[in-house]
């Protein structure tokens, strides 16, 4: 997608905030525990390469992504630290991952057998680093029983010339919840799995951002630090007690590119869903749902000169309209996320309005919106 460099609309990314968030997390880790920064989905919309570089400076010793292509993007940018693909990669790309020193997640014995055969057929000289995923209750990917895990360990041992058992991990489904009942169940399941592992691999990791913030018991030597690096609370508003202050790194600003006085009784936007009940100043803003401002944002208030201005009419693909308290000139700043005067809109505010979570909000901004790094 073309980047809108010639349009006044941008995500401003505060790299110092990201550095501070990661640095605070590192300070709380037990000695010998590493931090891998999660930069999947283009660094949660912040820019994967840019985030990776500042994370290195803050003390991250590796990275996690969702798909192999994201790992290769980091390698092409000169990132040399360990990279783990958290999703399942087709075994046919095992030799490519191995050649780029990218670690892959495995959740079945069939995958291991096929990858070992493909690596043998390709005459690849070296190892593919694998991390075994354990399904302790997330219900997503991973081995489901200790017996399955034991079989997988046997396959790894039989193919140690091509497959290296580098890591083992699980993912908690409710680490961001005040109720830790299910968390404790998952942790016990993890312990049951680990009972069949005679020799631990280099990396044992169970902690995401929420786990690292609120659960001291983890039994690992590496954390996967995700949403909190970007300054957002993984619990939204459920748990507000934080061990350190998170600094949001992202703001979203644009401008009024057209303003007009609309007489009483005139409708605004597709479907004529809003009709003025008085003479009103209406401003047009040059971003829309193609940029990551959903149609469901109708009625939400953005900030102009520190004042809330509601979105009136349906959000269009490339524009939306707002009701202004009075006339503002072309080029007046509009803040969708961030501070304006004494007022502020957070990603959680947007998420609450959309009945979703901040993760979806920040990952939803399209590549058409330019990223400006501060």
**pLDDT tens sequence across 121-150:** 888 888 999 999 999 999 999 999 999 999
**212 three-class SS:** helix
Cα angle: 198, vertex 199, 200; to 5 degrees? 120
Q: Which residues are catalytic?
A: 40, 270
Contact 17, 231 (CB under 8 A): yes
List the beta bridge partners of residue 130: 104, 165
For residue 93, pLDDT over 80 is answered with: yes
User: Where do the domains of the chain lie, and which CATH numbers do they carry?
Assistant: 15-230 (3.20.20.10), 250-345 (2.40.37.10)
- Listed in sequence order, the residues at least 6 apart from 279 whose beta carbon sits closer than 8 Å to its beta carbon are 261, 262, 263, 264
Using CA atoms, how far apart are residues 147 and 164, in angstroms rounded to an integer?
20
Instruction: Quickly count: other Cβ atoms within 10 Å of residue 62's Cβ.
Output: 20
Mean pLDDT across 186-210: 95
324, with CB counted inside 10 A (0-12, 13-18, 19+), is buried
Residue 1 confidence (pLDDT): 82
To the question of pTM greater than 0.85 for the whole model, the response is yes
Gyration radius of the chain over CA positions: 24
Return the C-alpha torsion angle 337, 348, 315, 264, nearest 10: -80
Structure tokens at 114: 């096929």
pLDDT at 40 > cutoff 80: yes
Q: What is the mean pLDDT of residues 103-114?
A: 97
Instruction: Please say if the pLDDT value at position 22 is more than 80.
Output: yes
Percent of the chain with pLDDT over 70: 99
Q: What per-residue confidence (pLDDT) applies to 217?
A: 62
- 274-292 pLDDT, tens digit each: 999 999 999 999 999 999 9
Q: Which two tokens stand for residue 9?
A: 């609309």
Does the annotation flag 317 for ligand binding? yes
């Amino acid at each position: 997608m073309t980047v809108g460099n010639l349009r006044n609309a941008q995500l401003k990314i505060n790299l110092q905030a990201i550095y501070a968030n990661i640095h605070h997390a590192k300070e709380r880790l037990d000695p010998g525990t590493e931090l891998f920064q999660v930069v999947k989905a283009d660094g949660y919309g912040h820019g994967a390469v840019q985030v990776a570089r500042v994370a290195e400076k803050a003390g991250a010793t590796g990275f996690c992504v969702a798909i192999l292509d994201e790992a290769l993007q980091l390698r092409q940018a000169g990132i040399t630290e360990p990279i783990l693909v958290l999703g399942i990669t087709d075994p046919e790309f095992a030799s490519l991952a191995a050649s780029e020193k990218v670690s892959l997640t495995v959740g079945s014995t069939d995958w291991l057998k096929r990858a070992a055969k493909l690596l043998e057929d390709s005459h690849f000289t070296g190892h593919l680093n694998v991390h075994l995923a354990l399904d302790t209750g997330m219900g997503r990917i991973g081995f489901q029983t200790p017996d399955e895990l034991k079989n997988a360990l046997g396959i790894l041992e039989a193919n140690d010339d091509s497959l290296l058992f580098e890591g083992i991990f699980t993912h908690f489904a409710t680490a961001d919840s005040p109720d830790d009942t299910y968390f404790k169940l998952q942790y016990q399941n993890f312990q049951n799995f680990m009972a069949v592992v005679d020799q631990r691999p280099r990396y044992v990791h169970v902690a995401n951002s929420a786990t690292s913030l609120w659960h001291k018991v983890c039994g690992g030597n590496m954390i996967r630090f995700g949403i909190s690096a970007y300054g957002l609370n993984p619990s939204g508003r459920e748990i507000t007690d934080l061990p350190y202050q998170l600094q949001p790194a992202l703001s979203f600003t644009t401008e009024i590119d057209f303003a007009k006085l609309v007489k009483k009784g005139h409708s605004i936007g597709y479907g004529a869903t809003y009709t003025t009940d008085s003479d009103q100043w209406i401003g047009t803003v040059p971003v829309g749902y193609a940029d990551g401002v959903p149609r469901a944002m109708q009625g939400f208030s953005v900030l102009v000169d520190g004042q809330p201005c509601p979105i009136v009419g349906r959000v269009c693909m490339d524009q939306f309209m707002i009701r202004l308290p009075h006339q503002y000139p072309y080029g007046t700043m509009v803040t969708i996320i961030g501070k304006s005067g004494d007022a502020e809109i957070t990603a959680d505010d947007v998420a609450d309005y959309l009945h979703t979570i901040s993760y979806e909000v920040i990952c939803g901004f399209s590549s058409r919106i330019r990223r400006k790094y501060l």
